[in-house]
Amino acid sequence: MAHKKNSLTVSVIVLLVANLLVFHLSGMNRETLSETPPRLPESVREWGLAREIEIPAEFLEILGTSGASLGEYRNEQGESVLLYIIKTSSRRASIHPPEYCFLGGGDRELLRKGLTEGLPRRQAATKVNYLVIQQPEGFTSALYFYTEGSSVTASYLTQQLYFIFKRLKNIPVEGKMIRISSPYPVKNPDIELEKLKTFTQSLFSQNPELQF
């Protein structure tokens, strides 16, 4: 346990120092990528895009980027999942762990949080983050992960450090947070988890580079 705490302390220190360096070098000219909303796929295997959900302008203003899209997907059995993608190349703070948003209302409770096998096994990293939230109207299960360039990670800290070091080298880079979630009225998270895993693996198999 002490080793984990020391590793976390070192990581935080490195992140803070790197942030200071980026701030110091902020006057440098850097090429940036366009911050257009991600283009949601029309289908993900047997799941079709039922509707794109408009993200309120106030929320995008808080995020500091217009590079966010949200869509609902349905299959022939009438099951639905929500796919949320946010990408940025110029503002790291736009990407953050989604439990902050889920729990922001104060009337919600985090029931589960951890890692689970969510990506195809042929990938170098197969684990994704897993959440179960209880709310007044029922429950929400979610899987999410981050990208750093063409790599995938479940670690928010790893992605943020990647951003910083690339910016220090004056290299344009794009990162994403991809969240697949499902609200449901009756507590049955195991069934919902399998559905989310199926969708996530189909999304990744169909679009290995996760270009949206």
Residue bearing the bigger pLDDT, 83 or 25? 83
Residue of 33, 34, 71, 66 whose CA lies nearest to 51: 71
**Residues 135-148 pLDDT 10s:** 888 999 999 999 88
Report how far residue 207's alpha carbon sits from residue 83's, in angstroms, rounded to the nearest whole number: 14
Going from N- to C-terminal start, the domains of the chain cover: 2-206
Q: What is the pLDDT of residue 125?
A: 64
**Residues 17-54 pLDDT 10s:** 444 444 434 433 443 444 789 999 999 999 999 999 99
Q: What is the pLDDT of residue 128?
A: 93
- Determine if the pTM surpasses 0.75: yes
